[in-house]
Each structure stands twice: as structure tokens, then as C-alpha cells.
Amino acid sequence: MLVERGKLDLDTRPDGTPYNLRQLLKHTAGLPDYGRLREYHEGVAADAEPWPEAKLLAAAQADDLLFAPDQGWSYSNIGYMLARRHIEASTGRGFSSLFAELIAVPLKLESVELAATREQFSRIHWSAARRYHPGWVYHGCLIGTARDAAYLLHAVFSGELLTAETLRQMLDRRHLGAAVENRPWEDCGYGLGLMSGSMGRIGRAMGHSGGGAFSVNAVYHFPDRDFPITVASFSEGNDEAVPEFETVRLGLSR
């Protein structure tokens, strides 16, 4: 939306880095991820205070790229963190304020907010959230209902938020492979912030799965149904396959 308003350019390199915003969103920048750090998970499990960003970047060795930009693919939450940092620097505004103005208010997503404190996290469904600081999600953690999550993604595909050309660029994906074992994917790839591919009888699927210390979720748009449908599923545990299969089941039942 900011690109459409001339506030951002996907092909600009933030602060002279070797990668651009498009590569950050597509995970082709070559950045490592902090999810591989044992000390990170130990801090989360101990309910410690989140590290300063500088400590996180140093621990993850973020300056040492895994490959040259566009010469590979590797999922990186650090990339999303740097994308958020670039958005805020370019606009002079915080992500929470931008999200509210551009998305939450127009779509009337009353449940959705950017969680920054333990008190905010203590209000969500999972009891384990009461022992978690959302600051450990360095790119930012939106919380809200499954209904609002589904409506947000549906708005992306129904034209309420983006032009057809912008959506086309989001769906321009890097193909990552065929079937994923023990998950519904029969073909998978990654666009600009969107997982996309096919999930058996329901056909094409575009959206995202995610997980944290105590819960997993999947939010997907299925355009090949007679009436395109968007489904969100939240679940306990750490297995992203559980909510993915549930979105497919619910999508086929409608």
C-alpha cells in the first residue's frame, strides 16, 4: 500500500545494504534467521526480557550472508525485522500507527493490535501467553481473532486493499518444491510475504503459516472454490501442519 502511494520502492536498498526490500520480503536476501539460536530459545523458555536488537543481530551473525542476494532462498525473520525498520524510517511513523490507519480502521478489524507488552499478550486465548513477552518477535506480532485474520487476508485478494498489479507482484513467487511430507502442500513457493502453491483437492492456496512458543496458525485464501474463500485456523502446539489441514477441511466444507 505504501508502494502504491509512492512512499516506498521495493527495489531500493535500505541504508546501502546489498539487498533490497523486495528481496527481504521474498527471503532471497541471504540473511540468516534467529530461530536457529539455542540461546534465543532458552531466553524465551525462561520468560526473560527480550534482547536489544543489536545483540540479536550480532548473535545471528546477520552481517554474514548465507548467499548473495537473489542467489538462493532462506526464510529469515531478521529480513522481516529489517523490512519493518525500513518502512518506519521511510515514513517517519511506527508500524502500529501505519497498520491502524491503512488496514485496521478501514476494514474495522477491532480485535487486531500490535502486541508490545506482556499485559497485551495476557489477553489472548492461550494460557501460556501469560509467560511470554511479544518483544521476542522482533519483526512485530499482531494479535487478534481468527475471524479478523481471515478477513484481513481476504481483503488483500478481493481488491479492498491493493491494486491488481500490486497483488500480481506479491504472487510472483520463487518455486520451492513439490509435496511437503506430512503437510497438505503438493506444490509450494514464496512470493512477497506470501506462501503460495497448491493443497490437493482445494487447489491453489495463498497465505501464511506461523508458529511460536506455544501456538501455531494458518491463514489461507483458496481462489479455486466456486466462491473463493479465506480461512484462518489457530491451534495449540508447534506443528504447523495441524492448522494447515484444518484450513483445507473448512475450505472444502463450505
pLDDT at 224 over 90: yes
C-alpha distances in Å from residue 33, one per residue of 2, 56, 80: 26, 10, 10
State the pLDDT at residue 142: 94
Give the pairing type, strands 187-190 and 113-115.
unpaired
Asked whether residue 4 falls in the same domain as residue 101, the answer is yes
Asked whether residue 134 falls in the same domain as residue 161, the answer is no
Q: Give residue 244's pLDDT band: very low, low, confident or very high (50, 70, 90).
A: very high
Asked whether residue 180 falls in the same domain as residue 223, the answer is yes
Q: How many domains does the chain have?
A: 2
Q: Give residue 65's pLDDT band: very low, low, confident or very high (50, 70, 90).
A: very high
Burial 144-178 (b: 16+ CB within 10 A, else e): bbbebbbbbbbbbbeeebbeeebbeebeebeebee
Domain that residue 203 falls in:
146-254
The residue from 144, 170, 190 where one domain ends is 144
Q: Give residue 80's pLDDT band: very low, low, confident or very high (50, 70, 90).
A: very high
Q: Give residue 16's pLDDT band: very low, low, confident or very high (50, 70, 90).
A: confident
Asked whether residue 52 falls in the same domain as residue 166, the answer is no
Distance of CA 208 to the CA centre of its chain: 6
Asked whether residue 63 falls in the same domain as residue 7, the answer is yes
Asked whether residue 140 falls in the same domain as residue 156, the answer is no
Asked whether residue 14 falls in the same domain as residue 117, the answer is yes
Which CATH number characterizes residue 2's domain?
Answer: 3.40.710.10
Asked whether residue 226 falls in the same domain as residue 173, the answer is yes
The residue from 102, 117, 144 where one domain ends is 144
Asked whether residue 132 falls in the same domain as residue 186, the answer is no
Asked whether residue 173 falls in the same domain as residue 185, the answer is yes
Q: Give residue 165's pLDDT band: very low, low, confident or very high (50, 70, 90).
A: very high
| 158 contacts 150 by C-beta, under 8 angstroms | no
Cα distance between residue 233 and residue 55, in whole Å:
34
Asked whether residue 182 falls in the same domain as residue 81, the answer is no
The residue from 144, 164, 199 where one domain ends is 144
State the pLDDT at residue 184: 96
* Three-class secondary structure assignment of 14-72: HHHCCCCHHHHHHCCCCCCCHHHCHHHHHHHHCCCCCCCHHHHHHHCCCCCCCCCCCCC
Asked whether residue 137 falls in the same domain as residue 151, the answer is no
Q: Give residue 68's pLDDT band: very low, low, confident or very high (50, 70, 90).
A: very high
